[in-house]
Structure 1
Amino acid sequence: MLFFIVGIYCGLICVEGSSMEASLHQQIFKNYNKHVLPGEIDEAVNVSVDVKLSYLVGLDEKHQMLSLGMYFNITWVDEALSWNETEFPGLQEIIVPDKQIWLPQIAIPSAIRTNRYLTAVNYPVSIQSNGTVIWIPDYTGNIQCPIDTTRFPFDSQTCLFDITLWVYKKKHAQIVKSKGHAESTVKQNGQWEINTVESNLVTPLGERNYIAITLDMHRRREYYLVSIILPTAVTSCLNPFVFLLPAESGEKVGLATTLMLFYYVMLSHIFDNIPANSLTMPVFGIFIGGQLVLSGLSVVCIVVLLKLSQTNRDVAKIERSEDGNTPKINCLWKRIETILFCVFAITGIVFCGTVLILVQL
């Protein structure tokens, strides 16, 4: 019997609370117009915006486009949505869909046109008794981010974008407080690692203010060390050894041509994945281009040496020394090949060292 009475009492309280909240909704939204700015005409609506980066999808380097996901914590005061707690005891907060109330027109100007604004999509909005509104929408889209590929693949990128109240003038609505950071549980990206996320509230003279977001990140190097750096380093060491390969093997020109084709393919692979512009040029791409030139020169030198050697064997009479040693002309070709080996080895080392110094600058 006691449990039955307690159950009836709790049910009456729930019905009363639900009826009270329904009355509050009816009172607030009876004459409410979501198309009218909150507050007085001569007072600007103060909007507080906090930005949190939740995940990084990736960076499209070829099109210079940053794909990310973030959510906002936006707060302002709308006195038309306030109520007296004494008339509605126990109701300090209500939750309504964002499509029912006025929302600040938050925009990211550098985002692509189809996803530039934060729009109402029935997100729950918290309204407190004093008229404070808390709106927490999320955003997923692409933002323009100029790329500097000079130190590729050991580069760091800094993406800058603005968040502003797009429609309203400063006298109507303004951002008064901002904060931006990455979540501690931000989803890891396999290619980029986030260093810092900073936000600054910029207030130009006579213009609407905006939040300047700075996203700093660096490229993860492990993949490029295995797929690009290591093969290029090994083949660069093989370049001078073409001259030490015996001519009788018949593989001198073949090896030199193979190395030259490798550098051409590697160079094409790098430039296929970076922006096609002349403002920034990857130093590592210049290194591979230099190795391509050296490989081409080695092919030319080998072909000329083989031709001259064969001509001397067919036309000129080779004088042998009295003790029956190797012909003097063969010794000459071997000395030339040794000199070319040293020249190409020193050139490759100097060129490689220069590139490493430029990458570290």
Structure 2
Amino acid sequence: METAVWMILFIHIVPGHFTSKTPIDIVFDYCKSRHPLQSPVYEGAVLNVSVNINILHLDNLDETKQALTSTAWFYFVWNLKGLTWNETEFQNISRVMVPADMLWLPDLMLLNAIDKFGHLSEDSFPPHVWSNGTVEWYATKRHVTSCKVDVTRFPFDQQHCSFRLAQWVSFSSEVNYTFNDPPITFRAYEENGEWEIRKSSVQDDYIYEGKYQVLIFELILVRRREYYILAVVVPMSILSGLNLMVFHVPPESGEKMSLCVSVLLAYAVYLTSINSLLPSVSDHVALFSVYLNCMFVLKALTVVASVFVLHLHSASPNSAVRQRLSRYFSSAFTLPNQAHVPLPKSASQDLQMSHQDKDADPLYEKRWPCVVQSIDHLFFVVFLLIVLASSSGFFCAMLVT
């Protein structure tokens, strides 16, 4: 008898405090009543969906393939009318997760995807449904997107890369996409060793007479230039300085051509290793590559100039070139106390040879080493001006925005 009384009381108490459905059942019933491809709003109404992108990591920017590899997630939020429950009646359960194939998801495609046709719902996480009808969905994956690369100002360049999302099935009159605040976040971003995100921006557009909406998330990437300055610019400047020192080596020392050819070979070997660092892109030629090739041509001309100076130094006293240059420099430049200046060894030898020739002029023989030295200094000034002008023009072109 006592057991029957307790059973009657239990039957009356249970319906008042428990329900046969759970929040997951409510959400499943809602999903079963609507097809996943059907818009969750009634005909004539507009569903507002807010979008945000969170950049996790920039893996690589391939200048040759003009492709940006990055890891990021797209965050979507929208509200489903008619899908709510009271948390207090369900043990304070505020949200449930639903399989992605049971619920309508934003039909956005990543237009500039390279590896796959960028459908965001592939391999995505299940959406979260909250008790007030708000749905949150994270589309996380590794993206390979096209990025037009301009390496003209390498290594002081910056690139504009973007993610272009476009509606594919629904019309802009049915679903309206807005940017969340902020539209681009870097909450768990890991710095890239080569590229730095300097700025970001967003914009939306409409295509096909306004039927479809396009969302554009743009990143401005700036190349980290410290490595290239230390590995390329500084060694090239040192080699250019050594190249100019060739004109200060006396011709009679016998080391002029050795230093000249050594600097040229060192530059050629170093240029071979530098070419592996330069981006191999043909539509935009890097000014830095042009500058390096100009410096290589200048060093080759230095060899030619050094050979010419050595040829003059060892020219015969009776040669027409030697006599004409001696007369020109003796009249163009004033050499005070020239007669009292002790002659170098080479000049003494030339003077002894000139005594053997009755037509030779001893005044020109005494001044000939000074003439050769003046020609060497003239080449030094000319090549120095060329190096300064080309280097200044290059760096000005690199730094001017």
> Please, what TM-score do these two structures have when normalized by structure 1?
0.82
| Closer, same or farther: CA 231–142 of 1 in aligned 2, 3 Å | same
Amino acid aligned to 1:70: A
Q: Contact 1:240–1:341 (CA<8 Å) still a contact in 2? A: yes
| Match of residue 191, structure 2, among 188, 191, 196 | 188
| Match of residue 377, structure 2, among 313, 338, 345 | 338
Which whole-Å CA distance do the structure 1 matches of 2:394 and 2:278 have between them? Answer: 20
Asked if residue 354 in structure 1 is aligned to residue 384 in structure 2, the reply is no
Q: Contact 1:69–1:141 (CA<8 Å) still a contact in 2? A: yes
Give the equivalent residue in structure 1 for 2:216. Answer: 212
Which whole-Å CA distance do the structure 2 matches of 1:29 and 1:162 have between them? Answer: 30
Asked if residue 277 in structure 1 is aligned to residue 282 in structure 2, the reply is yes
| Match of residue 50, structure 1, among 49, 52, 58 | 52
| Closer, same or farther: CA 106–206 of 1 in aligned 2, 3 Å | closer
Which whole-Å CA distance do the structure 2 matches of 1:261 and 1:237 have between them? Answer: 15
Q: How far 1:87 moved relative to its partner? A: 11
Q: Deviations over 1:293-324 (max 9, x none)?
A: 11111111222333444452899993349999
Amino acid aligned to 2:148: P
The total of aligned residue pairs comes to 345
Which whole-Å CA distance do the structure 1 matches of 2:24 and 2:76 have between them? Answer: 26
Which whole-Å CA distance do the structure 2 matches of 1:248 and 1:86 have between them? Answer: 98
Give the equivalent residue in structure 2 for 1:232. Answer: 236
Task: Identify the range of structure 1 (134-143 vs 245-254) with the bigger mean alpha-carbon deviation.
Answer: 245-254
Asked if residue 329 in structure 1 is aligned to residue 368 in structure 2, the reply is yes
Which SS does the other structure have where 1:187 is aligned?
A: coil
| Closer, same or farther: CA 265–161 of 1 in aligned 2, 3 Å | farther
Which SS does the other structure have where 2:101 is aligned?
A: helix
Which SS does the other structure have where 1:340 is aligned?
A: helix
Q: Contact 2:183–2:202 (CA<8 Å) still a contact in 1? A: yes
Task: Identify the range of structure 1 (326-335 vs 119-128) with the bigger mean alpha-carbon deviation.
Answer: 326-335
Give the equivalent residue in structure 2 for 1:28. Answer: 30
Which whole-Å CA distance do the structure 1 matches of 2:388 and 2:28 have between them? Answer: 81
Give the equivalent residue in structure 2 for 1:319. Answer: 351
Q: CA RMSD in A?
A: 3.4
| Closer, same or farther: CA 266–175 of 1 in aligned 2, 3 Å | farther
Structure 2 unaligned spans of 5+: 1-13, 323-348, 356-361
Q: How far 1:25 moved relative to its partner? A: 4.9
Give the equivalent residue in structure 2 for 1:67. Answer: 69
| Match of residue 202, structure 1, among 192, 200, 205 | 205
Q: How far 1:231 moved relative to its partner? A: 0.2
Give the equivalent residue in structure 1 for 2:164. Answer: 162
Structure 1 unaligned spans of 5+: 1-11
| Match of residue 144, structure 1, among 133, 143, 146 | 146
Which SS does the other structure have where 1:137 is aligned?
A: strand
| Closer, same or farther: CA 275–295 of 1 in aligned 2, 3 Å | same
Which whole-Å CA distance do the structure 2 matches of 1:327 and 1:341 have between them? Answer: 23
Which whole-Å CA distance do the structure 2 matches of 1:161 and 1:22 have between them? Answer: 35
Percent identical across equivalent pairs? 26
Task: Identify the range of structure 1 (106-115 vs 263-272) with the bigger mean alpha-carbon deviation.
Answer: 263-272
Task: Identify the range of structure 1 (314-323 vs 211-220) with the bigger mean alpha-carbon deviation.
Answer: 314-323
Which whole-Å CA distance do the structure 1 matches of 2:292 and 2:70 have between them? Answer: 33
Q: Deviations over 1:64-87 (max 9, x none)?
A: 22121111210223447x145499
Q: How far 1:334 moved relative to its partner? A: 2.2
Give the equivalent residue in structure 1 for 2:173. Answer: 171
Give the equivalent residue in structure 1 for 2:4. Answer: none
Give the equivalent residue in structure 2 for 1:6. Answer: none
Which whole-Å CA distance do the structure 1 matches of 2:225 and 2:25 have between them? Answer: 61
Q: Deviations over 1:207-249 (max 9, x none)?
A: 3122221211212122112100110111111111112223355
Give the equivalent residue in structure 2 for 1:37. Answer: 39
Q: Contact 2:351–2:365 (CA<8 Å) still a contact in 1? A: no
Which whole-Å CA distance do the structure 2 matches of 1:132 and 1:301 have between them? Answer: 79
Q: Contact 1:244–1:337 (CA<8 Å) still a contact in 2? A: yes
